[in-house]
Amino acid sequence: MEQAASQAAKELGAVLSIGVLLEPSDLPIVQRPLDEVIQAINAAIAACEQRERNEHTEL
C-alpha cells in the first residue's frame, strides 16, 4: 500500500512540476495517480480506525 501511494505521488508530482498550465485533455494524466493516492490514504485511515476499534474492544 505504501509503495503504491509513494509511486503515485511521485508520478503526480512529476506531472505537476512541469510548470505549464494543464489543459482539460491533460486531466486523465493527473486523475489516475491522484485517485491512487486518495485510495491509499483512505485505506490507511480505515486501517488505523480498525486498529483503534480493536484496541478499545480489548480493554
**pLDDT (tens digit per residue) in 10-45:** 888 887 787 778 788 888 888 888 888 888 889 888
- Report the distance separating Cα 44 and Cα 50, nearest Å: 10
DSSP state for residue 18 in the 8-state scheme: T
- Please, which pLDDT band fits residue 1 given cuts at 50, 70 and 90? low
Q: Which three cell numbers stand for residue 36?
A: 491512487
Q: pTM of the entire structure?
A: 0.66
DSSP state for residue 20 in the 8-state scheme: S
Q: Cα separations (Å) of 24 from 27, 31, 43? A: 6, 11, 29
